[in-house]
Amino acid sequence: MCGIVGAILSEGSVVQGLVDGLRVLEYRGYDSSGVAVAADDGVLVRKKEGRLANLEAALADGALEGARAGIGHTRWATHGPPSDRNAHPHLGRHGTLAVVHNGIIENYLALKEELTGSGVVFQSETDTEVLAHLIERELATADDLSSAVRRCLARVEGYYALAVLSRGPAGPEVVCARQGPPLAVASTADAAYLASDLLGLLPYTNRISFLEDGDIAVLTPGRVQVIDLQGRLVERLPKTIHWESGDSGLGHWPHHMLKEIHEQGDVLARTAFSRIAKGADDVEFEGGAFSDEFFAEIERVQVTACGTALHAGMIASYLIEGLARIPVDVDFASEFRYRDPLVGPGTLALAISQSGETADTLAATRLARSKGAKVAAICNVEGSSQVRESDGVILTQAGPEIGVASTKAFTAQVAAALLLAVRMGRARGTLDSERARELLQELRLLRPKIDSLLTEEAVGRVRRLARLHVEQNGFLFLGRGVNFPIALEGALKLKEISYMHAEGYAAGEMKHGPIALIDPGMTIVVINSVGHVADKVRANIEQVKARGGVTVSVGSDAASHEVAEDSIPVPETSEWLSPLLNVIPLQLLSYYVADLRGCDIDKPRNLAKSVTVE
Ligand code: AGP
């Protein structure tokens, strides 16, 4: 998704800070970038298709140095292909105003027709450019830039996170506005900043305010003033963010994804261990959230999420239904939001999201709330929309996840779901003290088991498999029960970073169709842990082998490793916890296959880290 940065300083040059901010936001996925600064005689713009390096080359002449106010953008194309002319920022006619935007202006064609009719000649194929011309036109009669922006937005349908820079007679002005995609703002003694997400602001401060829908922020050095669309002042108190800007650094690692895979032992400890209650037979969340009373009226749970978070949600459904003995439904947020679902006051709507800004998941949450459901979230970003709009929140402690392919956030989500399931089971009396104690003890013992899967020898075993299978036509991942979602997750990881065809399937479903796919060019990865379905899954491996299939078994069921052609052993643990271990070799497998294929692992083609539009 697009990345937006902006700043106004009391003195000094803003342009390098804009580029540095865009580099921090690169992980969001983009295909072009640009900056605009307010110079003495107007607004100067540089923008280029492709990677940030292209923009930096265009800035090398230093022509934009010295300006103290500016905005920047990394574009993830929606209207108009990636190109220099479609890159943001977009200028008005007089060259004194520039706009950058994330979102979609749904009525841009009508606005474009009106503006063209009044003599505007458009320079790009984007929807965003209409904003630049509309605001510029309003600025001719408005008191100030924020008034002009308000008037423009009153005519706009759709959703946006936008920043506007103008260079008027009174000097530079920077204004931003939000309706949908996120925007964060912050001020220091002699500057004010804006960014699409908090990572763009952490280099300056960890006291950050998050705009709400309908907010407009006016940035002046040392101050951010927030107003609503009617021009009334609103208060957006800053939150203290407990991340360090260095947390998102690459360090000595070749890719963020590999670093984040190796952080999972720490992430599990940070997310789970401090929430195990003193008696070790229950869970205690911050602020007493998820108390016995919280669950008193809950009769069912509805999980909504997207992508990897949905796979964590599927595991959550097995854990909650199994331990708290309450019905749980899981749905793609993009399906849930359009099917007029049967949810109401007795429903706990549980959203799972790393970013907390995924448009479909937010929409599903808002729909569930409108139908009377109680809303909870498992989320990684404090201050995100998902967190702010929930009645109960479990913050995962994964730290910034930069790799587009989610890994440590996923395992943190599963750990958080286990905690919630234990808490709900204890609250409802379906999980006794002894079983809870055993499970939580097993959870504590997971960390060395995770680390054992990340040793040089264990990783080397996966790398060998990657080399053996990198030329295959495709992969089929099979799993049952709580490991069926791990089959889906293993397939998604491989798809999204190596671009190979891969499919996850319920192992019991294989003979109802996918078994026709078996041939030497198809690798069948079967996830099987010691547990109540191990013998069934082992039989599935036999069925594949009997038809000449290439099989790899992953898990703690040693007998499966005897049957399969190749294997990745995983330490034994409670069946409920086995997904937290089984997923790690699959994350590594996708990483090394993608590496062998020379793919852009941290920024896979067409993908964005947080899908803030539909
Ligand atoms: C996962 O590897 C993908 N990047 C994607 O499926 C992601 O999980 C999905 O877009 C949901 O994002 P969220 O967790 O931020 O809501």
Residue 112 known to be catalytic = no
Query: What b-and-e string marks burial along 340-363, b requiring 16 or more CB atoms within 10 Å of the CB?
Result: ebebeeebbbbbbbbbbbbbbbbb
pLDDT in the model for residue 250: 83
Res. 430 pLDDT band, cuts 50 70 90? very high
* Pocket of ligand 1 contains residue 613 by CB under 6 Å: no
- The CA 493 to ligand 1 mean position distance, Å, reads 11
Per the residue annotation, which of 259, 493, 603, 609 is the catalytic one? 609
Backbone angles phi, psi at 183, to 5 degrees: -145, 135
* Pocket of ligand 1 contains residue 574 by CB under 6 Å: no
- The CA 195 to ligand 1 mean position distance, Å, reads 20
Name residue 83's amino acid. S
pLDDT digits (tens, 9 = 90+) for 140-151: 999 999 999 999
pLDDT in the model for residue 599: 96
Q: Which residues contact 393 (CB under 8 A, 6 or more apart)?
A: 289, 376, 377, 378, 379, 387
Residue 84 contacts residue 49 (beta carbons within 8 Å): yes
Ligand 1 pocket test, candidate residues 27, 199, 308, most atoms within 8 A of CB: 308
Residue 239 known to be catalytic = no
Q: Which domains does the chain have, with CATH numbers?
A: 3-236 (3.60.20.10), 254-444 (3.40.50.10490), 454-601 (3.40.50.10490)
Torsion sign (Cα): 223, 227, 233, 239: negative
Among 26-40, 97-111, 465-479, the least confident range: 26-40
> Which residue's alpha carbon is at the smallest distance from atom 6 of ligand 1?
307
Residue 609 CA: nearest ligand 1 atom is 4
* Pocket of ligand 1 contains residue 316 by CB under 6 Å: no
Question: What residues form DSSP beta bridges with 404?
Answer: none
pLDDT in the model for residue 221: 97
Residue 307 CA: nearest ligand 1 atom is 6
> Which residue's alpha carbon is at the smallest distance from atom 16 of ligand 1?
353
pLDDT digits (tens, 9 = 90+) for 526-549: 999 999 999 999 999 999 999 999
pLDDT digits (tens, 9 = 90+) for 24-72: 888 777 889 999 999 998 999 999 999 999 999 999 999 999 999 999 9
Res. 75 pLDDT band, cuts 50 70 90? confident
* Pocket of ligand 1 contains residue 334 by CB under 6 Å: no
Name the 3-class secondary structure at 565: coil
* Pocket of ligand 1 contains residue 179 by CB under 6 Å: no
* Pocket of ligand 1 contains residue 309 by CB under 6 Å: yes
> Which residue's alpha carbon is at the smallest distance from atom 4 of ligand 1?
405
